[in-house]
Amino acid sequence: MPIALAIATAIGLLSALLGDGIWDGLSWLLLVCPLLGVVYCFKAARAVRQLPRQNHRRPRS
């Protein structure tokens, strides 16, 4: 996944540089991907807070 996001970022950064119009649009679409990844990770971190905290301190093995 991180590699896919890096590729999306790279093509997104370059496409707007090399063209206008549709290339700008492609750039916006691709650069949104890593930011969606960020939102997804925040959601993953947040989801648990609403649940009761169980086993938050695991016994040392």
Partner 1 sequence: MISAASIRRWCWIHKWTSLVCTIFLLMLCVTGLPLIFHEEIDHAFSKFEKPADLPADTPWANLDRIVEAAKAAAPGQVVHLVYSEDKEPDHLYVSLGDSPAAPLDKDTGVIVDSRTTHVLGKQKYGEGGVMDVFLKLHVEMFAGLPGKLFLGVMGGLFVIATISGVVLYAPFMRERSYGVVRRDRSTRLKWLDLHNLLGVSVALWIGVVGFTGVLNTWADLLLKVWQFNELGAMTASYKGQPPVTHLASLEQAVATARQHEPNMQFAFVAYPGTAFSSPHHYTIFMRGDKPFTARLVKPVLIDAQTGAFTDKRDMPWYIVALLVSQPLHFGDYGGLPLKILWALFDVVAIVVLCSGIYLWWKRRNLAPEIDLVVTDAGSTPNAVGLEGRLS
Binding site for partner 1 (CB under 8 A): 1-2, 5-6, 9-10, 13, 16-20, 23-24, 27-28, 31-32, 34-35, 37-38, 40-42, 44-49, 51, 53-58, 60-61
The first and second tokens of residue 5, run together, are 């996001």
Supply the minimum distance, in Å, between the C-beta of residue 23 and partner 1: 8
CB of 61 to partner 1, least distance (A): 7
CB of 8 to partner 1, least distance (A): 9
**If we measure between CA atoms, which residue out of 21, 26, 22 comes closest to residue 11?**
26
Buried b (16+ CB within 10 A) or exposed e, 44-60: eeeeeeeeeeeeeeeee
